[in-house]
Chains A and B, each alone.
Chain A
Amino acid sequence: MSRINDVGGMIGFPDIVEEPDEPAFHADWEAHVLALNAALIRRGVYNLDEFRDAIERMPPASYLSASYYEKWFTAITTLLAEKGVATPEELAGA
């Protein structure tokens, strides 16, 4: 039933935590991931819904333990491999 992103109405997640004076990004790489995604969508490598889909396809345990921009980076590399831009090995730097 449904993918792990579809959490509306679910029970059991922890308390909502507010971060005072939260910065837009918690590390430089997060900003780079955001910009990278925008660049690839603008170039038509994939579209925004394919990007959402790639996030949602993450295994549930990985989805829940990953930070927001870790999910994004996972989706970007998944799509780059699937679209044939680079092999998983090239993307991993192997």
Chain B
Amino acid sequence: MPDRFVPGDPVRAGTCDPTGHTRLPRYVRGAVGQVAEVAGHHPLADDRARGLPGTVQAVYHVRFAAVDLFGAGDHTVTVELWEDYLEPTTDHQDKEAP
């Protein structure tokens, strides 16, 4: 399956709150960031933590502006997120691109 996103794409981190293991930190949930780079393809950790083989999918470096995560701060945070955690968005960030 081809990667769903390419560098430069705006993406929104999922808002799901799984009860099990996940690598979607809560501080990015629901926030809009930008794909910086494809960081390889790996089975979803959420599945592997339940003893399942996990579907292999793209993992991305996604860059968020701190102000979109915490309401303050002039830095950026790059988080590594599996494709399943991300959805496309048309939200324009009116701030400077991070």
Interface positions of A (Cβ within 8 A of B): 1-2, 6, 8-9, 46-50, 52-53, 56
Contact = CB atoms under 8 A, between A and B. Distances in A.
Nearest to B28: A8
Contacts of B41: none
Nearest to A3: B21
Given A1-B17, A56-B21, A47 B27 contact: no
Top 7 A-B pairs, shortest CB-CB distance: A9-B27, A49-B49, A53-B21, A53-B49, A49-B48, A2-B26, A8-B27
B59 to A, nearest CB: 14
Contacts, number: 33
Interface string B62-84: 00000001100000000000000
Contacts of B70: 9
B27 A50 contact: no
Interface in B1-54: 17, 20-21, 25-27, 45, 48-51
Given A47-B48, A50-B51, A8 B26 contact: yes
A47 B26 contact: no
A1 B70 CA distance: 17
Contact of A52 (B17, B21, B26): B21
B72 to A, nearest CB: 11
Contacts of A2: 17, 26
A47 B26 CA distance: 24
Given A9-B70, A47-B48, A47-B51, A53 B25 contact: no
19 contacts: A6-B25, A8-B26, A8-B27, A9-B27, A9-B69, A9-B70, A47-B48, A47-B51, A49-B45, A50-B48, A50-B49, A50-B50, A50-B51, A52-B45, A52-B49, A53-B20, A53-B49, A53-B50, A56-B21
